[in-house]
Chains A and B, each alone.
Chain A
Amino acid sequence: MADLFRSVINIISVFAIPLMIAVFLGWGFIKKVHVYEVFVEGAKDGFQTAIRIIPYLVAMLFAIGIFRASGAMDLLAMIISPVTNLIGMPADTLPMALMRPLSGSGSLGIMTELMKTHGPDSFIGVLASTMYGSSETTFYVLAVYFGSVNIKNSRHAVPVGLLADLAGMLGAVFICRILFGI
């Protein structure tokens, strides 16, 4: 069942982009849109948008980068671990949960390390990879998306993003404990 689901999704993923190109341009051509001119017109914005996000991305990534380099994550994990022990979340996976919203490459590194130490099919290995799949890198998305339209006042976006991450991590612990619990 899971295998069937996986192969169906994989096939859709492979066909999605060629299909979109064909349908978008084909439909446009039939509707007598000047496809080439309109494409170029739209593509012009690509450069501007990408350049616009640079200052936001530098501000965000540099702060996260030095935070990672300082080793403060271990300290933070140590402070929070009594709370997470109560809900049955292994202390080893706590840095993973804390890193996930901050840095994609950082959490990828932690996940790989955990699998090397504990094995990919151990409870910790399964939980860490579930956590990795349970959320996006909130602060990266925030910097890129808001940066692209020069938004400086993010209002409730940060608390919303962090609540979502918290729910994702707790959800991962909950479902892994039920299905693969020790």
Chain B
Amino acid sequence: MLNYIWIFLIAVALLVGAGKDLNDEVRNTYQNGVPLEVTFLSPQIPAGSVLRREGQFYLTANQFNDFYKTTSQHEEVKQPAVISLSADGSGTFIFSSADATPELWKRMSTSASARDQLTGTVEKIEFSDDKSWAKAVILLEPIRFVKLKAITQAAIDFANTAVEIAIGLIGVMALWLGLMKVAEEAGLVKVLTRMLTPLTKRLFPDVPSDHPAIGAIIMNTAANMLGLSNAATPMGLKAMEELNKLSPKTGTATNAMVTFLAINTGGLILIPATAIAVRAAAGSANPGIIIGTAIFGAGCATLTGIIASKILQRLPRYKKEMPEEEKVAKEERHG
């Protein structure tokens, strides 16, 4: 199943990306090769024959929308830019993408020749009498294959992100695995697991109730619920390692592993701190209002996950991949 979803994500990404680029090319979304009339506002008085002037490209929202045949721009465009002119009146310009830059230009700048900057040529420029503004005709550099370039960039960026995440785990992993080992040797994990045996016996019938895996599962769940993700992941991985020791077939997920994963992906958390922080930052009158609703939602997810794992594990197609029960039964006969 993971195979199909993985290849689906990749195939859809490539097809949609190529399709959108083709669409842009046919409709000339970025008006490649079409000159744009702008007003250039520049209060500085120039000196010398080669002119380098800082100023702003000014366009009304309507002018911008008419040119690019969109409706996306609602405010007038005031884009800081630098133009360089030579004596014969030809010239070039460059500007950087910033907060006030129109969305369309921002998008174009992501796949421009210089990252986050758009360049082009000044076809014609006529200054006013006091030289403080000019009517200019500019031609932006051609923008092509925005999506395919974005896909290439994302592939590289996310491969790096994956390694950064893994490397970032090393420290906390070592800390928690060390602490857990001490707790295990001291018999503390056994005390903890014994308290919750009635529950864990039902959830993980294949795992002996005093097994270290149960201790790690309990601690992982508790840490998750408290939102201590730094502690939760190492404990969860410890639980997986212990569950793997019980597996008759390495490389294949056992029923207990899938149930454990269902509890984890349900993501039951008592205080959804990230969501609350974003709400507060956005100026909410009551950021914490979602605590109850999020617990309800995550409760639905967790419960459904557990039930689904118990039902699906009985399906013949999943059962035959993990001869768990047969093996346990055989051992009992021999033992």
Which residue numbers of A lie inside 8 Å of B, CB to CB?
Answer: 2-3, 5-6, 9-10, 12-13, 16-17, 20-21, 23-25, 27-28, 30-31, 33, 35, 38-47, 49-51, 53-54, 57-72, 75-76, 101-102, 108, 111-112, 115-116, 119-121, 125-126, 129-136, 138, 141-142, 144-146, 148-161, 163-172, 175-176, 179
Contacts and interface: CB of A to CB of B under 8 A. Distances in A.
Given A6-B288, A47-B174, A112-B282, 12 more contacts: A21-B179, A63-B13, A64-B9, A65-B157, A71-B147, A129-B275, A134-B300, A145-B237, A149-B241, A154-B1, A156-B309, A160-B258
In the complex, which range does the number of interface residues on chain B fall in?
A: 35 or more
B111 to A, nearest CB: 11
A69 B285 CA distance: 34
B240 interface: yes
A126 B290 contact: yes
Interface stretch (B40-48, B63-71, B263-271): B263-271
B6 to A, nearest CB: 5
Closest 4 CB pairs of A and B: A42-B181, A134-B297, A133-B294, A46-B174
A132 to B, nearest CB: 5
Interface stretch (B29-37, B137-145, B184-192): B184-192
Interface in B238-255: 240-241, 243-244, 250-253
B295 to A, nearest CB: 8
B257 A151 contact: yes
Interface of B: 1-2, 5-6, 9-10, 12-14, 16-17, 20, 147, 150-151, 153-155, 157-159, 161-163, 165-167, 169-183, 185-188, 223, 226-228, 231, 233-234, 236-237, 240-241, 243-244, 250-253, 257-258, 260-262, 264-267, 269-272, 274-276, 278-279, 282-305, 308-309, 312-313, 315, 318, 321-322
Contacts of A45: 173-174, 177, 241
Contact of A125 (B14, B282, B293): B282
B299 A171 contact: yes
Contacts of B304: 163-164, 166-168
Binding site secondary structure of chain A? helix
Contact of A2 (B155, B188, B292): B292
28 contacts: A16-B231, A38-B178, A45-B173, A49-B173, A50-B166, A50-B173, A54-B163, A61-B161, A66-B9, A67-B12, A72-B13, A76-B12, A111-B275, A111-B278, A120-B283, A132-B278, A145-B260, A155-B322, A156-B1, A157-B2, A157-B258, A159-B308, A164-B308, A167-B305, A168-B267, A175-B292, A175-B293, A175-B297
B5 A158 contact: yes
The B interface is mostly helix, strand or loop, or mixed, namely helix
Contacts of B223: 16
A64 to B, nearest CB: 6
B260 to A, nearest CB: 8
Contact of B301 (A2, A154, A164): A164
A51 B20 CA distance: 37
A70 B13 contact: yes
Interface centre among B9, B14, B269, B321 (most CB of A within 10 A): B9
A179 B295 CA distance: 14
Contact of A156 (B276, B278, B301, B315): B315
B298 A155 contact: no
A136 B178 contact: no
Contacts of B228: 13, 16-17
A57 B264 contact: no
A122 B141 CA distance: 41
A108 B278 contact: yes
Contacts of B266: 135-136, 164, 168
B287 to A, nearest CB: 7
Contacts of B261: 141-142, 145-146, 157, 160-161
